[in-house]
Amino acid sequence: MRILLKILISSAVILLTAYILPGVHVDTFWTALLVAVVLALLNFFLRPLLVILTIPFTILTLGLFLLVINAVIILIADHLIGPRFEVDGFWWALLFSLIISLVNSLINNKKKHSK
């Protein structure tokens, strides 16, 4: 039940962020829901592998390379989902991932403090 709530909140955040950013396009709430599920799966399966493979770059850039990994995951989701979810380039993917990460961390932080 908790994971379903997180995915629904992420969907709303994705839809709102796509509305704000002109370089990110999401058709409907159902597409945003699909994007949230695909991003959750990519973050669960692919992100750890990418983090391990890029440890030298991450150390060299003092952790900033993790932002690149987040943007790449957004671009992979764009490729997998197709025309219903489009990101116009790397910089839009980076900004999109930053906003989503920030809002999700704020939401998760509020939940921890309210318990």
Q: Tens digits of per-residue pLDDT, 31-89?
A: 999 999 999 999 999 999 999 999 999 999 999 999 999 999 999 999 999 999 999 99
Q: How many domains, the chain?
A: 1
> Does residue 111 sit within a domain?
no
> Does residue 26 sit within a domain?
yes
Give the domain extent around 34. Answer: 2-105
3-state secondary structure the chain: CHHHHHHHHHHHHHHHHHHHCCCEEECCHHHHHHHHHHHHHHHHHHHHHHHHHCHHHHHHCCCCHHHHHHHHHHHHHHHHHCCCEEECCHHHHHHHHHHHHHHHHHHHHHHHHHC
> Does residue 114 sit within a domain?
no
Q: Tens digits of per-residue pLDDT, 20-38?
A: 999 999 999 999 999 999 9
Residue carrying structure tokens 């990101």: 87
> Does residue 115 sit within a domain?
no
Question: 101 and 79 in contact (C-beta within 8 Å)?
Answer: no
Question: 54 and 96 in contact (C-beta within 8 Å)?
Answer: no
> Does residue 113 sit within a domain?
no
